[in-house]
Amino acid sequence: MRWTLVAATLITLAILVTGVGTALAQTPPEFRLGFKAIADQTPEMVGPPLENEHFNPANGDSLQRTAKGLMVWRKADNWTAFTGGYWTWVNGPNGLQRRLNTDRLPWEADDRRSQDQPPRFEPVSRGEGRSPDSAAQQQFIASVVGPAQASARETGVPASVTIAQAILETGWGQSALATKGNNYFGIKTAWGPGTAGVITVDTWEVIDGQSVWVKATFRAYHDLTESVMDHGRFLRVRSPYAEAFKTTDPREFARRIQAGGYATDPVNCDKLIAIMDRLDLYQYDLK
């Protein structure tokens, strides 16, 4: 009888422990401390947490994924930040400040090797004016203008959109895809190789809402002009982008090709428009 009672007690305890464990496992993730401070200020920007805070053993940073990006406490400068893949909001000594992912605020430690996010190819700085930030960037724009205008005459793709996409996709012509394969627009080989065959590189994409690195095969070209012309024809002949050619507004054109599925990044058109606006790329559109 005594052993029966003991066994029953043990079974009851096991059920209780299991129930507690299940309840703990089902506890939703939450923001705490510095991450909570940012989330409380901008809840719509951050979105709900997808996991609880954890540490990156490679550098000691604290990380927490959200529905719209990544919370980061960087050990290098001891401040918390949120990045959505393009803009970063840093809660530092001057309060909550926004910058591009590729920029640094004056007081921030420039420890880019410790970042958990993959590098993004964005404009180096928003700046205050409408000029490129360096002679090299001015030269890059100059190299794309002619082919972009030729593509506009043949295909109808606004030159401003073509130039902005070349800047965004390649980081001002510095990506491996551009330097090794003369592919300035990330066109893959699903519809066949390029004029110079194919090239395989690692690429950053948004899949099911997650930022991931994948190996992908892209078209290769002999030069920039071939890439630009193929880009225009690619957009012109595919039905998902047909609506874009019904507008003469470059900004609306960018929105419509995004709606047609041009990029996996859900805010790709916003980035294109920001580049076109900052650099006044509309000056290169055909009148």
Query: Sorting pLDDT into bands at 50, 70 and 90, what band is 215?
Result: confident
Average model confidence (pLDDT) for the chain?
79
Segments making up each domain of the chain, as ranges: 1-29, 31-114, 135-284
- What pLDDT digit, counting tens, does each position of 165-197 carry? 999 888 888 888 899 999 999 888 887 899 999
More confident residue, 278 or 76: 278
- Residue 281, pLDDT score: 96
- What pLDDT digit, counting tens, does each position of 81-96 carry? 888 766 788 887 778 8
| Residues 282/160, Cβ–Cβ less than 8 Å | yes
For 78, residues 6+ apart whose C-beta sits below 8 A from its C-beta are: none
- Residue 109, pLDDT score: 65
SS3 267: coil
Query: Sorting pLDDT into bands at 50, 70 and 90, what band is 238?
Result: very high
- Residue 230, pLDDT score: 96
Query: Sorting pLDDT into bands at 50, 70 and 90, what band is 12?
Result: low
User: How far apart are the C-alpha atoms of 267 and 169, rounded to whole Å?
Assistant: 13
Asked whether the whole model's pTM tops 0.95, one would answer no
| Residues 214/202, Cβ–Cβ less than 8 Å | yes
Segment holding 89, helix H or strand E: strand 87-92
Cβ-in-10-Å burial (0-12, 13-18, 19+) of 144 comes to buried
* Most confident of the following: 15-19, 74-78, 242-246: 242-246
**Which pairs count as long-range contacts for 161-164, CB under 8 Å and 24+ apart, including other chains?**
161/250, 161/253, 161/254, 161/257, 161/272, 161/276, 162/228, 162/231, 162/232, 163/276, 163/281, 163/284, 164/254, 164/272, 164/273, 164/275, 164/276, 164/279, 164/281
**Fold of the domain built from segment(s) 135-284:** Lysozyme (1.10.530)
User: How far apart are the C-alpha atoms of 281 and 198, rounded to whole Å?
Assistant: 30
